Amino acid sequence: MKLYTKAERSTFPYWFAHWKAFNKVAFSLHDWKFKYLFHDIEKPWLLFLWKDYKRVKKWHRDHNKHHLDNPMGKYDWKAMFIDWECSRYTKAEAQLNAYETMLHELDKHKDNPDLCYQLKINMMPLFLKYMPYLPYNVDIYIDDPYGDM
């Protein structure tokens, strides 16, 4: 699969590659759902209408539960995990797996202990559930620099 640069992420081919990678990862984790067919479906249409990728990106992150930027505070943790895990298959600059992305997000949001707590208590069980299907090992009890898990 092609890795896209930041400049290419505002294109339909990138969106389609991300959509395929997202669904492929969901299948490989044995947790695919019908709703995943509609993952990020609004992005190419909003880009067509608005012609402003920054505006589309902000709107998308503010209105989708698989992003921590969602101001409603209700998250789709499984979709977030899958989104994080599939990003390394499509983004040249984001070669982190889901675990590395979680550590990055914990560091990024360290001034918000409630969000970090939510992140840990909701993501750690997913790592345990998906461990047999991940192409890497995560020792979440020994290698957890943020403690509490």
The whole-number mean pLDDT for each consecutive block of 10 residues of the chain, a chain of 149 residues, reads: 89 95 96 96 94 93 92 92 94 91 94 93 93 79 49
Cβ contact 61:42 at 8 Å? no
Q: What is the pLDDT of residue 86?
A: 94
pTM: 0.89
**CB-side exposure of 140: number of CA atoms within 13 Å?**
18
Q: What is the pLDDT of residue 27?
A: 96
Q: What is the pLDDT of residue 149?
A: 47
